[in-house]
A and B are shown apart, each in its own frame.
Chain A
Amino acid sequence: MTAPLRAALFHRPAELDEALRLLAAHPEAVPVAGGTDLMVAVNYRHTRPAAMLDLTRLAELREWSDEGDAIRIGSGVPYTRIIAELATVLPGLAAAARTVGSPQIRNRGTLGGNLATASPAGDGHPPLLATGADIEIASTAGTRTVPVTAFFTGPKRSVLAPGELITAVTVPKAAGPQQFLKVGTRNAMVIAVCSLAVALDRDARRLGTGIGSAGPTPLTAPDADLIELPWNRPDLFNDALAAEFGRRVAAAARPIDDVRGTAAYRRHALAVCAARALRRVWTAAHGTESTR
């Protein structure tokens, strides 16, 4: 017979400051938001947290706000709300959120949990990379902001240190069409074989790309972003340009063979997705019919 759990082994702070103090005082406490990553590991005994710290009561983490050029999304806003409330201003992120798991998973899962898990296949990551989002991280020592491009350090590894919580993600508002494409075996409930986000900024004449599930971390494709596009004569856009963009995105990937697919397949699929995504954003931005 095990002894009843002492209340101190499950912390339920009501405010962020309290949460940070508790985390500093109890470094063994594992934060839990939606539980959709953590609880699977707990149920399968891959981890046995000695203590846990509930983030779902922190109102500060469950709100988003309009910051003018950007939306600051609390790390605990579940995907369902990102889809329902932010699809117009952040279409790429909302499209990615729509592909996560199932309604049950989207009702609980959060961007903060997605980032902290730092899976190369996390669907939230490519749109954040494509738009140049910033991650806000807090501890009792203060708050720091890390560009998403500097957040991931390896498979399931990030710059997040013990005692730190992700508090928010600041995502620039869309300045043009955005796309998210995900390759998987089903339309729901799949971990991406590979995924791709593309954001087009019409005024700044800039492309942004984020690649998922095709490298040790989610990746950008800087060389692809610099492809020369006919901004002054949008009708000159053609399939050759789209295909070249696809080649550059595939070249930026660093995939491996695993149970979900081979490296060669991932590169091929990324090239196809990238060409398709570029055609779609270009057509949407310029109202022109591309040749295909």
Chain B
Amino acid sequence: MRVEMRVDGEPAAAEIDRPGESLLTTLRDRLGRYGTKNACEQGECGSCTVLLDGDPVCACLVATAQCEGREVKTVVGAVPRPVRDAFIACGAVQCGFCTPGLLVSVADLLARDGDPNDVQIREALAGNLCRCTGYEKIIDAVHAAAELMSDGTPAPTRAHWITTPVVPSAANDATEAAP
């Protein structure tokens, strides 16, 4: 069965062979889009978070065939540049496995609320587990991204971050214009 959808702004089609195939499996194993990570396949960890018609969902819990005609955005197409920069600058990435899912959740949060407080950040990220960072630096990164996105300049008051220059890779450049 052929399923057609849009992935990161481009048309994508997949041929699936069982009705319960998940969007996560299709993205990774059929479409070669490895940005979306698989850690639990039970909705617990959030590493597979993508935007489905604009809403963050666990790709592991969506049946691919439900996505016919729908718009999927992964870490590649969903995340504005300042969010990615802030994660690196704040040390919010260690092993990096949780990062794609977190970036998508943070992009969604900041699109809804340009200046969330710590409680709102914790609530919005409750479905994204990170085993490395202890979350504090992730929360710092959300504040930093919020500031970068509001006026483009980092806030002087935030203690933890070091402003490391971020060298964009070619792949990153390609997604520079992502909203």
Interface pair B66/A188, CB less than 8 Å apart: no
Cβ-neighbour of B61 out of A4, A10, A12, A35 (below 8 A) = A35
Interface pair A7/B49, CB less than 8 Å apart: no
B56 CB within 8 Å of chain A: yes
Interface pair A105/B60, CB less than 8 Å apart: no
The segment from A42-50, A142-150, A256-264 that touches chain B is A42-50
B13 CB within 8 Å of chain A: no
Cβ-neighbour of A104 out of B18, B19, B22, B56 (below 8 A) = B56
The segment from B36-44, B85-93, B154-162, B164-172 that touches chain A is B36-44
Given the known interface contacts A43-B41, A54-B65, the answer about A102 and B17 at a Cβ–Cβ threshold of 8 Å is no
Q: With a CB–CB cut-off of 8 A, which chain A residues contact B177? A: none
Q: With a CB–CB cut-off of 8 A, which chain A residues contact B128? A: 102
Interface pair A5/B16, CB less than 8 Å apart: yes
Cβ-neighbour of B1 out of A9, A48, A104, A105 (below 8 A) = A9
Within 8 A of A (CB), among B35-86: 41-44, 46, 49, 55-58, 60-63, 65-66, 68
Interface pair A189/B44, CB less than 8 Å apart: yes
B124 CB within 8 Å of chain A: yes
Within 8 A of B (CB), among A26-44: 32, 34-36, 39-40, 42-44
Cβ-neighbour of B41 out of A32, A44, A80, A102 (below 8 A) = A44
Bound Cα distance A9, B3 (Å):
13
Q: With a CB–CB cut-off of 8 A, which chain A residues contact B42? A: 40, 43-44
Contact with A along B144-155 (1 / 0, CB 8 A): 000000000000
Interface pair B127/A105, CB less than 8 Å apart: yes
Interface pair B127/A188, CB less than 8 Å apart: yes
Interface pair B127/A39, CB less than 8 Å apart: no
B99 CB within 8 Å of chain A: no
Please tell me the size bucket of the interface on B.
Answer: 20 to 34
Q: With a CB–CB cut-off of 8 A, which chain B residues contact A104? A: 43, 46, 49, 56-58, 105, 127
B126 CB within 8 Å of chain A: yes
Cβ-neighbour of A49 out of B1, B2, B16, B20 (below 8 A) = B20
Given the known interface contacts A7-B1, A49-B20, A108-B61, the answer about A102 and B126 at a Cβ–Cβ threshold of 8 Å is yes
Number of interface residues of A (CB under 8 A): 36
A56 CB within 8 Å of chain B: yes
A6 CB within 8 Å of chain B: yes
Given the known interface contacts A39-B63, A54-B66, A107-B57, the answer about A188 and B20 at a Cβ–Cβ threshold of 8 Å is no
Given the known interface contacts A104-B127, A188-B123, A188-B126, the answer about A32 and B63 at a Cβ–Cβ threshold of 8 Å is yes
Cβ-neighbour of A43 out of B22, B65, B66 (below 8 A) = B22
Can you report 21 residue pairs joining A to B where beta carbons are below 8 Å apart?
A4-B2, A5-B18, A7-B1, A10-B1, A32-B66, A39-B60, A43-B42, A49-B20, A52-B20, A54-B63, A80-B55, A101-B43, A103-B56, A103-B127, A104-B105, A104-B127, A107-B56, A108-B58, A108-B61, A108-B62, A188-B126
Q: Which residues of B contact A (CB under 8 A)?
A: 1-2, 15-20, 22, 41-44, 46, 49, 55-58, 60-63, 65-66, 68, 105, 123-124, 126-128
Among all A-B residue pairs, the 10 with the closest Cβ atoms: A102-B127, A188-B126, A5-B1, A42-B20, A10-B65, A43-B41, A52-B19, A39-B61, A2-B17, A107-B55
